[in-house]
Amino acid sequence: MVYFGEFRGKTDKQGRIVIPAKLRSLISSRNKSSVYIIKGLENCLFIFSEKEWKIQSAKLKELPFTRGNPRTFTRLFFSGAFQSNMDKQGRVLIPAGLLKYAGIDENVVIIGAGTRIELWDENRWIKYYTDSLKTYEEISEKLMEL
């Protein structure tokens, strides 16, 4: 499964967001509507399906805890994680601390980012997208060299 697309939404007073139908059908499987929400990079939030959460967790468990960077990363990754259940309307509760981390007050951009869904404060996304688009071709060329 590959998540893709860009969608606009709003948080409600309880801190919930609606996962767009196109992404919702991919993230939930066979009556399983659990998702895992973590602090993402660049101050966005990452949302993983249960299946993808298990894959990512397994990779991180293989990192050597005796080394500083892996230890720090896994601490930050797992300590801020929150398991949420999607309701029948496709809403997911986002804890206040995670919303604060991402700077999300009301307007949110929901993007499909391959193996995950990302939540962005709308203004932060616009700035990130605009700045990153300037180097899109350069990044593409460097990635093709790998």
100-119: per-residue pLDDT in tens? 999 999 999 999 999 999 99
- For residue 47, the tally of other CB atoms under 10 A from its CB is 27
CA angle 33, 35, 83 (to 5 degrees): 115
Predicted local distance difference test score (pLDDT) of residue 114: 95
- Asked whether residue 42 is domain-assigned, the answer is yes
CATH number at residue 45: 3.40.1550.20
User: Per the structure block, which two tokens stand in for 1?
Assistant: 């499964």
Q: 40 or 143: whose pLDDT is higher?
A: 40
Evaluate if residue 10 carries a pLDDT over 90: yes
| Residue 102 within a domain | yes
The C-alpha atoms of residue 122 and residue 9 are separated, in whole angstroms, by 9
User: In one letter, which amino acid is 1?
Assistant: M
Q: Is residue 129 part of a domain?
A: yes
**Confidence band of 29 (pLDDT split at 50, 70, 90):** low
Q: How many Cβ atoms are within 10 Å of 108's Cβ, its own excluded?
A: 24
pLDDT on residue 112: 96
Check pLDDT > 70 for residue 2. Answer: yes
Residue 139 within any structural domain of the chain:
yes
* Within a domain: 1: no
**Where in the sequence is the domain holding 28, given as residue range(s)?**
6-144
Please tell me the total count of domains within the chain: 1
In a domain, 110, yes or no: yes
pLDDT of 16? 97
